[in-house]
Amino acid sequence: MAFSGKMDLRCLSEDYYSPDVLSDDDAMLDSREVGGAPMASFPLPAVDDIDTFTSEVTNLVKPNHGTTTLGFIFEGGVIIAVDSRASMGPYISSQTVKKVIEINPFLLGTMAGGAADCQFWQRNLGVQCRLFELKHKRRITVGAASKLLANTLFSYRGMGLSMGTMVAGWDPDGPALYYVDSDAQRIKGKRFSVGSGSLFAYGVLDTGYKWDMSVEEACELGRRAIYHATFRDAYSGGTVSVYHVTENGWRKVSGDDVGDLHYHYYPEGNPTTQVVDPLDV
């Protein structure tokens, strides 16, 4: 939904819009300053508490969304693993969403939250990173890239963006992993999982994580963590994609359907279903 410069509030109830309170002449305010602060150029509803009114209206258009993404640093670099399901409330809208944004050959970003928000702003980050390289004749660091994204999102804080992303890569200081969200929160860490299935993924990730894992073990850990999240979380599913970032750049290791992974991990069937003889209890 896009809002024009002038909002027609006549669609609201009389409790929100009253001609006696807000006349036609006063409805459209110009850009002059009053008391040193710029005034709005569109009419405001005649309500007692504008903050409460705004939050109620915003909640009407907030979508329910879910996903599972994770990233962790180990001795051999950075592993990024994601699912590929997109949902619109209870409706599964796609099973083939690419939730890893390839910012440049050494930087990856993940998507969690609103798909359009994540795709647009991370591709915008790719433009900013390229401009940095052209200006300074060197590759941008992971920390600087995550800071650019956080600064951009800070400018739009409170405007309805929904993002929970990770920025991962390799720079002259080695591997790095940052979490950045739409509130401009920016956290550096070694293990993150974001999305509705993150609690399930964390259970596997924290149990199996070791710093000195081999590349094969690390990829399998990320793959298995995402699979178990898709098994328990209805909003996660599709394909499990695993990426590995090293000093030579990133590469996609695998992309496996969660149905195939289920029979790979549990060839004898559902691990949660077991017929118990009452006499054995």
Residue 214: partners with Cβ closer than 8 Å, 6 or more residues away: 76
* Single-letter code of the amino acid located at 152: T
| Of residues 164, 136, 159, 137, the one with CA closest to residue 149 | 164
For residue 67, how many C-alpha atoms fall within 13 Å in the half-sphere facing its CB? 35
CB contact at 8 A, 53 and 64: no
> What is the identity of the amino acid at 89?
G
User: Residue 115 and residue 120: Cα distance in Å, rounded?
Assistant: 8
Phi, psi for residue 278 in degrees, rounded to 5: -55, -30
In sequence order, what DSSP letters do the residues of 128-186 get, joined into one string? HHHHHHHHHSSPPPHHHHHHHHHHHHHHTTTTT--BEEEEEEEETTEEEEEEEETT--E
Is-catalytic flag, 273?
no
The H or E element containing residue 59 is helix 50-60
Q: At residue 272, what is the residue type? A: T
Query: What residues have CB less than 8 Å from 1, skipping those under 6 apart?
Result: 61
Q: Could you tell me whether strands 91-94 and 86-88 are parallel, antiparallel, or unpaired per DSSP bridges?
A: antiparallel
**Active-site residue (options: 67, 69, 165, 230):** 67
- Identify the CA nearest to 195 among candidates 71, 90, 60, 61: 71
Q: How many Cα atoms occupy the beta-carbon half-sphere of 251 within 13 Å?
A: 7
Catalytic residue numbers? 67
